[in-house]
Amino acid sequence: MLDGMTAPSRLPAAQLSHARLSARALTAGSVAGLALLLPTVALAWAVVLASGRGSHCLTYGEQCSRVPGDALWACFWAAAALGVLALAWPRTRWAPARCGVVALQWGAQLTLGALILAGA
C-alpha cells in the first residue's frame, strides 16, 4: 500500500532532481536573507546618517524620521522569524508554501530597508 511517505521516491528522476534543486534554492535564499539582514540594516542606517537630515537628527534630535520605530522592529523580527521558519520547514512537504515564506521573508527585509531609507 502506498502512503504519502513513499510517493516522492517513485517520481521520475528528472522530477525528483528538480524538487531537490528547488529545496536547495529555497534553503539558500532563506540563509542568504538571514545572513544579509544585519548588513542591510547597517547599510541603510549608514546612508541615512550620511545625509544632512540624518546627521541633524543625530546631533540635535530634530527632523528625525517620521517612520515609527515599532514598524521597523516589526519588519526586522518578521524577516528573522520567517527566515528561521523557512529553514525549519520540512523540505519535501508543501514546497509552494515554503516558497511563499521565503518570499515573505525577503519582502519584510526589503520593506525594512526601504522604511529606514524613507526616514532620510
Give the model confidence (pLDDT) of 6-47 as tens digits.
455 555 554 445 456 587 888 899 999 999 999 999 999 999
Give, in degrees to the nearest 5, the angle at Cα 15 between 11 and 21. 125
Please give the model's pTM, rounded to 2 decimal places. Answer: 0.77
Segment of 1-5, 43-47, 50-54 carrying the highest mean pLDDT: 43-47
Q: Which residues have a Cβ under 8 Å from the Cβ of 105 and sit 6 or more positions away?
A: 30, 33, 79, 82, 83, 86
- Tens of pLDDT, residue by residue over 84-109, are 999 998 877 788 888 899 999 999 99
- The owner of cell 504519502 is 4
